[in-house]
Chain A
Amino acid sequence: MLIHEFQAKDFLRRLGWGVPEGSLAETVEEVKRLAGELGCPVILKAQVLAGGRGKAGGILKALRPEEAAHLANRLLGSKLVTAQTGSQGLTINKLLVEKAVSPKKELYCALAVDRRNENLVAIVSQQGGLDIEELSRFRPQLIKKIYFEPDEGLKNFQARQLAYFLELTESLVKDFVARLKLLAGFFIEKDLKLLEINPLALTEDNRLVALDARIEFDDCSLARHPEIASLRDESQENELEKRARKFGLNYIKMDGSIGCLVNGAGLAMATMDIIKHFGGQPANFLDIGGGVTEEAVSQAFELLLADTQVVSGLINIFGGIVRCDLVARGVVTAASRLSLNRPVVVRLEGTNVNEGRRILEESGLPFIFASDFEQAARLAVELSGQPR
């Protein structure tokens, strides 16, 4: 679970890190007032849950309070489309208004789970900012990584190695070490997946200030951190995706015309792949999961059809834990509620397949049955009207 920049900076502030002076605003008037109080120039930062905000025009500088009001008027309530939001974009409900900081140098600092080495990693770079990924490829000598274990935590000497690598002045080294250790402790205690400060500014008066921050928590651990779970901002989720999550479904909207309903993430991806293989375009990724109820299947099928781009549907179930009869009942309930008006190809296999098929056949609804995976995909593509 990703949290907003302002929430991440709250955590950083509490852990002793310097952040720019600023405050959150939800109206144009508040922005103008804050710009006056903080003293211009100020930076307006759109609080949406996605990266790539700067390039998308979601981070703007204002030289006077009037200009801040003018920009806020344009940003607030609008949708920001970044490289990571998908074409629908995310609504800007809040702006973080900060006093501009002019850094002498921009650094980078992050903590992350490194799945390859099965360890935690602290990363610093002598050069921060937008092109950090390019940097890691072409000038890796500017980057230093140190691994540590969750039970051991980050050691003083490790933090010191990173501080000296960043060429901090002696007076800052001690501060940085203490704060980085607090950060690592926080990372472990709250089950983070990622904590990134980029850029970490070194100011003219030799202070370290976190200009931007990104914190991502492990969804699997939220049950033991209710105070973290409550930070979720539902306004930042796509309506259909939000509905899906409520029922434990994993749904991701895409731009094609074939709606898919599948059990299991791997099979769901394979279903999308095979649709593409036969020249079609999937409208979504939808994994109903293993512990699904009849009601959740109904919801899943409704979700699939709620997408007006869907021309044909493909239900692909390989029953294991999930029983085919349960899926069939859920689908029939939803289909009768909705008056099914688009062709739906059904492929059932595995646990209770005969019972499932009987339920669908007896419903009298116009399902099209396929005998195997490949045939199901071909049919769905044909019916979506996209020629091979």
Chain B
Amino acid sequence: MQFTRRETLALGAGAALMTVLPYRANAAVEDFVNEFTGGAEVAEGGVDLIAPEIAENGNTVPIEVAAEGASAIMVLAAGNPTPPVATFNFGPLAGASRAATRIRLAQTQDVIAIAKLADGSFARTSSLVKVTIGGCGG
């Protein structure tokens, strides 16, 4: 089998794209993180994220986030087609910087929570949620 120069270039570009693609999702996540933090440093820990280890259905996955004194908490799903899930902004009458909701996860992936703490610093945690496929289609 012989390739023309153009075909060889195309193949090379395809291979390069395939190498890059798996990292694109993570790059997108970091973009969203930077947008939220303004590029500030983010400490690991200091924010609670409760999510199931195994989700029975990815369509409705209960999660809860909390970080003492945080003014905002952003939730990202690294493996979704679009990573943003929600940003909770806590007002002066919030009883605690805590919220629970239900989210969609397209596949097994890391769910990430980033909190803007009272002193203006940022904290981050993540949790791997395994998404299973049900037994029956109906």
Q: Is B truly associated with A? A: no
* Interface positions of B (Cβ within 8 A of A): none
* Interface positions of A (Cβ within 8 A of B): none
